[in-house]
Amino acid sequence: MSLLSLNAISGGYSDVDIIHHISLEVQRGEIVTIAGTNGAGKSTLVKAVLGLLPRVRGEISLDALSITHMAAEDRFYAGLAYVPQVANVFSSLTVRENLLVVRGVKQIQSRMKEVLEAFPALIEKLSQRAGNLSGGERQQLAFARALMPAPKLMVLDEPTAALAPALVEKVFELVTELPKRGVAVLMVEQRARQALEISDRGYILDQGSCVLSGAAKDLLSDSKMTQLYLGNH
């Protein structure tokens, strides 16, 4: 049984559908990438998964639990974590405070220690304000915050956006570590080729519909499709 399952999801704002009849699955231990050109509907689909899209039709389930009509906060408690593209940490708080402010975490001090084992560079920064961290450190903190409640699935929205090229590989390394910690990944990423290279499977959207899906290696080997939807580089 799939960890995350979307069945014929459509929806949007007011009476205008942005996404159309999209079905998608994420299995336990998988990294799945959603790719496509700008305006393809990737962010809208992520909002549907998170419970942030005003109007949704279809069915969404997480670990066999229907979350289609569940509030966004309740999806968090059901095991869904989210790292947005921007505003993914509290800049005015210290690193320690960013981790301790997460709600619903039992034995939070021991959990923080456990999470920091995956991000040792943050240990010496615990008393530093998040706003003073480097771009790479901020992204590590965002990942660490998302891991605090021990989620089943982490949704990543453009995790390498605005990062220097030297930091991009580091972020992708962090992503590949998540399944090893029992967390599956659903990722939207503009660097689609690089994202697919570390993914198990991928879905390519165009004008709000899924036009291609399959094993990541198969998508990357389809030269016509990659040039059309992923660009030449």
Domains annotated on the chain, with CATH: 29-50+81-230 (3.40.50.300)
Q: What one-character DSSP code corresponds to residue 200?
A: S
Q: How confident is the model at residue 231 (pLDDT cuts 50, 70, 90)?
A: low
How many C-beta neighbours within 10 Å does residue 76 have?
20
Q: Report whether pLDDT(144) > 60.
A: yes
pLDDT value, residue 233: 47
How far apart are the C-alpha atoms of 32 and 24, rounded to whole Å? Answer: 10
Structure tokens at 170: 């580091």
**Residues 192/33, Cβ–Cβ less than 8 Å:** yes
**Pairwise CA distance, residues 18 & 119, whole Å:** 37
Between 19 and 15, the higher pLDDT residue: 19
In the block, residue with structure tokens 């229907």: 66
Helix boundaries (H) for the chain: 42-50, 72-78, 95-100, 108-116, 135-147, 165-177, 192-197, 216-221, 223-225
- Best CA proximity match to 190, nearest among 46, 36, 51, 7: 36
Q: Give the pLDDT confidence of 189-229 residue by residue, as tens digits.
A: 989 999 999 999 999 999 999 999 999 999 999 877 777 77
What's the confidence (pLDDT) of residue 123? 96
Q: Note the pTM of the prediction, 2 decimals.
A: 0.93
